[in-house]
């Protein structure tokens, strides 16, 4: 299945879940996952979404949503007319030209992540979601691991040699730090910004996911589901 079809299926699933459930006065919270590259975030994010019955939107999915107007419009259904029309205008403007600057891209991502946050019940991986969603509506989680552990994981998962994996980790670390600092004026690895920081070299994927679910439910109570 192509990425586009997978995204369509995930969006359809999320829309169906939203439409099947009564609209609460306060939507369920989201989980905003930030991570150091190679910290095993994808598997943890999937498990958290599965155990909560939430939709999962990984970084590549957010990229795809930001790039395809049709999917973006689908995600906007069910929002009040004022919000939807404002975001629709932005999307139309942003995609009028073939090329997008990084700032254009970021603005689109902000609006898509905000849309998910307004409806709630989503696990969002990366793309600044922890900096975009308000703390009263999201559990902000940072996944970390020592550099050597991250290099080993990347080498295994991507079939790289150790030197190649180390270069990849260092490059990704530098890019993420620059992106967050430039656009949000923050350090992406500042622990006091997050509600929960988990060292994935210490805890397994299953235990880390259980920790996120447990903290979410303790913090948000019945809203978390």
Q: What local confidence, expressed as pLDDT, does residue 92 receive?
A: 42
In this predicted structure, the answer to whether residue 74 has a pLDDT above a threshold of 60 is: no
Q: What local confidence, expressed as pLDDT, does residue 200 receive?
A: 94
Per DSSP (E only), the strands in 58-121 are none
More confident call, 19 vs 212: 212
| CATH level 3 topology of 27-220 | Rossmann fold (3.40.50)
Q: Where are the alpha helices (DSSP H) in the chain?
A: 3-20, 41-52, 59-67, 69-76, 81-94, 102-119, 129-132, 147-158, 162-184, 205-220
Where does the pLDDT of residue 115 fall: very low under 50, low under 70, confident under 90, or very high at 90 and above? confident
Q: Would you kindly state where each structural domain of the chain is located, as residue ranges?
A: 27-220
> Do 217 and 224 touch, CB atoms closer than 8 A?
yes
* Mean pLDDT value of segment 122-131: 87
Q: What local confidence, expressed as pLDDT, does residue 198 receive?
A: 95
Q: What local confidence, expressed as pLDDT, does residue 141 receive?
A: 96
Q: What is the pLDDT of residues 131-155, one digit of tens each?
A: 889 889 999 999 999 999 999 999 9
Where does the pLDDT of residue 205 fall: very low under 50, low under 70, confident under 90, or very high at 90 and above? very high
What would the two tokens of residue 75 be? 């995600």
In this predicted structure, the answer to whether residue 78 has a pLDDT above a threshold of 50 is: no
């Amino acid at each position: 299945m192509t990425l586009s079809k997978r995204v369509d299926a995930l969006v359809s699933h999320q829309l169906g879940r939203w439409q099947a459930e009564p609209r609460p006065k306060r939507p369920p919270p989201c989980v905003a996952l930030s991570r150091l590259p190679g910290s095993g975030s994808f598997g943890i994010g999937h498990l958290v979404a599965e155990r909560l019955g939430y939709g999962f939107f990984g970084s590549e999915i957010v990229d795809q949503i930001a790039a395809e107007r049709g999917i973006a419009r689908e995600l906007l259904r069910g929002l009040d007319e004022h919000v939807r029309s404002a975001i629709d205008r932005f999307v139309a403007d942003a995609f009028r030209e073939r090329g997008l600057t990084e700032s254009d891209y970021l603005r689109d991502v902000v609006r898509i992540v905000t849309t998910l946050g307004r409806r709630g019940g989503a696990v969002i991986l990366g793309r600044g979601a922890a900096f975009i969603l308000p703390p009263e509506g999201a559990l902000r989680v940072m996944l970390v691991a020592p550099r050597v552990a991250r290099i080993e994981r990347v080498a295994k998962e991507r079939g790289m040699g150790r030197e190649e994996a180390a270069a990849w980790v260092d490059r990704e670390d530098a890019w993420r730090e620059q992106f967050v600092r430039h656009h949000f004026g923050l350090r992406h690895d500042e622990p006091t910004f997050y509600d929960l920081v988990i060292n994935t070299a210490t805890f397994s994927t299953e235990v880390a996911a259980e920790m996120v679910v447990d903290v979410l439910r303790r913090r948000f109570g019945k809203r978390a589901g």
